[in-house]
Amino acid sequence: MTIAEVGKEYGLTADTLRYYERIGLLPPVARNKSGNREYTEADCRWVHFIKCMRNAGLSIEVLIEYVGLFQQGDASVAARKDLLLEQRKQIVEKIEELQGTLAYLGKKIDGYEDHMLKIEENLKKFDAQTTPEEE
Amino acid sequence: MTIAEVGKEYGLTADTLRYYERIGLLPPVARNKSGNREYTEADCRWVHFIKCMRNAGLSIEVLIEYVGLFQQGDASVAARKDLLLEQRKQIVEKIEELQGTLAYLGKKIDGYEDHMLKIEENLKKFDAQTTPEEE
DNA sequence: GCTTGCGTTGGAGTGAACTTTAAGTGATAA
DNA sequence: TTATCACTTAAAGTTCACTCCAACGCAAGC
């Protein structure tokens, strides 16, 4: 696959893909005879992984570390697993925090509902005083 | 409360609090006779709200909009509620996305566990071939 | 051969969100 | 009274994560 195709597939621009590769966030992608990147399925799986992890809020820094570990081969398997475990923990915490915020927001929204009901009531009273009955 | 105290309480620097106020992310805080900010409880509730919402990923832009609506008084109650409803929706989506990522990460971690087991097995085989039995 | 359209590079530019700095004010403690 | 300390402002600087650009290479179609 070409860089444009991969970009389209995963919702990244060609610029971003090249940028990620340049900074080591993606392992180097092999080139065809004209020097253009030719993404294999394995490359695409990397792109997918990186996209997912970025969306989940993992920093570029920690992902570069992960890619670096990967490139060291089997010796780094335990370190890679630990890194992922730590990041998973942080995502779990993030979810819990978001659920707390959700509860807080819910209360705030309920407050607005009450407020709006009261305003409506006042309007009705005002209507009753100032406009003739309609039926 | 002084700016430093509020900063400490909510995990923001005095710089950030002044910055937030300057850009309209926090309503103006009244000053004491020396011109220093004196945060009331209501101000603190604002700080708490903004901190929460920023942590949840709401943009400064949308929060400035919210503060602006608030300052318009009762006429903006419905608009404020709609804004919060929309942001809540986005947080719910974010949580769902994170849960998907969690599942994906879980599989990846399991993969590493399998991998490590295999490596261990190979080590044992190697031991069996090359070292004398121990009991 | 020329144009079009895809790709390449390195480096500069952008926008969001702070963060630091310079230069000052006012209150308190020694 | 002088030093210290927390605060003030406006403006410049920083960091992160892209995003764009200029200048070029290659290959297919006219």
Mean pLDDT of B41-61: 95
**CB nearest to A119's CB, from B77, B84, B92:** B77
Query: How far is residue A44's CA from residue B8's CA, in Å, rounded to a whole number?
Result: 45
Can you give the pTM of this predicted structure? 0.85
Q: How far is B48 from chain A (nearest CA, A)?
A: 11
- Backbone φ and ψ for B123, nearest 5 degrees, come out as -60, -40
Q: Say what the pLDDT of residue A45 is.
A: 97
Look at residue B118 and tell me whether its pLDDT is greater than 80. Answer: yes
- Contact status of A31 with chain B (Cβ, < 8 Å): no
**Which residues 12-31 in chain A have a CB closer than 7 A to strand C?**
14, 18, 22, 31
Write down the residue that tokens 């670096």 correspond to: A68
Q: What is the mean pLDDT of each run of 10 residues along chain A (135 residues)?
A: 96 97 96 95 97 94 95 94 95 96 95 88 70 46
Nearest residue, CB atoms, A80 vs list B52, B88, B112 = B112
Check residue B21 and give its pLDDT: 96
pLDDT given for residue B115 in this prediction? 86
Model pLDDT, residue A130 = 55
* Among B31, B30, B39, B33, residue whose Cα is nearest residue B7: B39
Measure the CA–CA gap between B1 and B42, rounded to whole angstroms. Answer: 11
Q: Does A53 touch chain B (CB under 8 A)?
A: yes
Identify the residue with better confidence: B130 or A93.
A93
Q: Is residue A68 within 8 Å of residue A27, measured between CB atoms?
A: no
The separation, in Å, between residue A10 CA and nucleotide D28 C1' comes to 28
* B119 or B71: which leads in pLDDT: B71
pLDDT per residue over B6-38, tens digit each? 999 999 999 999 999 999 999 999 999 999 999
- pLDDT tens column, B90-111: 999 999 999 999 999 999 999 9
